Structure 1
C-alpha cells in the first residue's frame, strides 16, 4: 500500500506482551465473557468504554467517513455498519487485495463485535456510529484528486467526521481546497501524523484545521514511530492495537501506527458530536483539546507539545467534563482554499479613461495573482509523495 506519493500510515507487526497501563490511561477489568480478541483491545479497557463511555453514548446517529484503500464490509464484526460508499480509485484497482488497512480502521471506530451479546471479536470505541467507506488508490497518479473527491463527497453525504489514516510529505492544493470546503461545512477532519519517528509535516494532517494525530503506547508514552512537530494536535492509542483484518470474515491483526490512533480520535469526535449535537465542528475539537492530558506540559504552557500535541485524547472527559463551548470556529486555524477564484473589483465608468492608473492596476494585479497561483500549482505537481 505504500508508494512515492501517499501511503497508509500503518506498521503491521505482531507484538509481544503488553505493558502495564500508566496514569494517563486507567486500567479497567475486561468483560467476563469476552473472547481473547476483546480482552486484547487495551484501549477499550484503558478508557473504561463499557463502564464510562457507552452508557453515555455509543455515537448512534453519527456518520463517519473513512477514506482508505479498501474495506471488507462482510467482516463478522462490521456487518451492517456501512452505508453504500463510493469508489474513487481507477477501474483496474484491486480493492480486495488492499482492504486490510481500511477494514482495521473501520473496526476500531465502529466495530460491533459478534457472538452472544456481541461479547466476542472487535468492538470499536463508537459502536453506534455508521460508516461511509470511500476507496482511494494511493498508488495512482491522480491520488490527490481521489482524496479531494472523497472529502467533498463525504461532505455531500452529511457526515460529521472524516477519518484519514493516510499521509504524505507534499501538500496538494487540490486536497487543501477540499479540506477548506469540509471545514466550511462543519465537518471534523482527523488525519494521521505519520510513522517515521521524525520531525516532519505530513498531509492532509498538517493542513490548518485538521486534527493531526500522533500515536501513544499503552503506558501513555509516545510510540517511537510517531512523527512529531508543532502541527500535532492530539495523541491516541497507537501501539499493540488489535483490529479486524481482511483475509477472511473472522481475521484479526495486531499493529502499530498513527493510523490506529487517528481512528480512535475520530471515534471520540463522533461520540462528542452525538452527545452534544449543537456544537460546531470547531467546538467539538475544542472539547477534545480541553479534555486531553499532556504529561509533558510546562506550567503556563499554551502551545501544543511537539510529540503529544495538546495531549492524549480522553473520551470520558470529553463527554462529561464541564467545558465552555467557546467560539464557533474552535481553537485551530482554518484552511484557506488555494483554488478559490481571485476576487475582482469593479471600476467605475469615470475611471475607465485611457491613462488613468486604476484601469491598469486592477488587470495587472489580477494577472499577477493568477500567475502566482499557476506557478504554485506547477511546483506542487513536481513534488511526489514519498514512501
Structure 2
C-alpha cells in the first residue's frame, strides 16, 4: 500500500475531471488564444474569457480585473515589484508585511529594500496570527502597501485580511494578499475589497504552473502596476507570453468542482483533523498554530524529544509529510514561521506539517504514525 499523502499544502493531485478537460484543450482544441484569424484561436480565446469571468466572479470582481499567471509566486512578484515605480514617483516607499510570509513575498520585499524601500515585517503572536491593530499602528502617510497572506502555508492559521481590507480601502495604502492556501477554501474573505489577490491552481486540484492575480479597481482608478517582464501585450500588458489555455481552463474547472463540493470537502477535512488529533493524544506534542483561526486541513506539530527529520525518514513508507514550505523543505534550518512566533528553538526546528485533501487520505492510519512517534519518545 502506498504511503498516505499528507502534503496537500505543497500540492494536490490533479482531479481526474480536471485532467480530462486539460487533455481536451491540449489535443483537440489546441488553438492559441492570441490567434484571431481562425476558429481554433477564437474558441481558445472564448474559453479563456469564460474562465476569467468565472474566477473573477468568485472573488467579487470583474473579468477585466484578473490576469492569468504561472502561479502565486509570479503573481506576488508582479504585485510587489510592479508597484515599485509608482512608489518611487510619489515618494511612498514604506511597506508593511509579516515575518511569516511565504518566501515568494519575503524575497521580493527584500529586493525592494535594496532599492530604497523600508519594509516592516510584523511578528505574529505565539499562535501565529497577525492582528489588525498591529498593522494599523505601523501605517504612515508614506505607506505604499500592506502585503499579508490569507492562510499561512505552514500552520494553517487564517489572517484577518478581510477586516484589514475594509480599513485600508478608504486610505491611499494598497493591500496585497497571497491567497495561495485560502483560495476557494475561504471564499467569503476574498470578496472583501482587497486590492490585489494572488492565487495558485495546484492547491485545489488544478495543474501546476497556472494561477492568477486579481487587480481590483478603486472606483474607476486602476492600481498603477508596471510590468516586470516584457515581450508582448498579453494580460493587460502586465504578463507577456502565450497563455496556457489548457491550464487556464483546468484552473477554472478545478475551482468549479471545489466550489460545488466545498461543504463535503470541509466536513471531510475536519473529520481527518479530528482523527489525527485523537491519535496524537497518546503522544507528547505541541500544536503550532491558533486552533480557533485555522483551516481544517493543515496541522503543524512538534513532538517532544523527536527530531522531525528522523521522524520523516521513519514515516517514509507510511505517510508523505513535510517540515514546512515545499520551497524551503530542503533546508534544515528552523522554520522562519515558527521562529517568528517566538517558539523555543527545539520546537521551531522540529515542526512537522500534516496537510491533506480528504479524498487523498483514504488510507490514513494515524495510529500507526502515533506508534512510530511513541517509539521515538520512549
TM-score range, shorter chain: under 0.3
Normalising by structure 2, what TM-score? Answer: 0.26
Structure that is richer in helix per residue: 2
Q: Which has the higher contact order (CA 8 A, sep 6+)?
A: 2
Task: Normalising by structure 1, report the TM-score.
Answer: 0.26
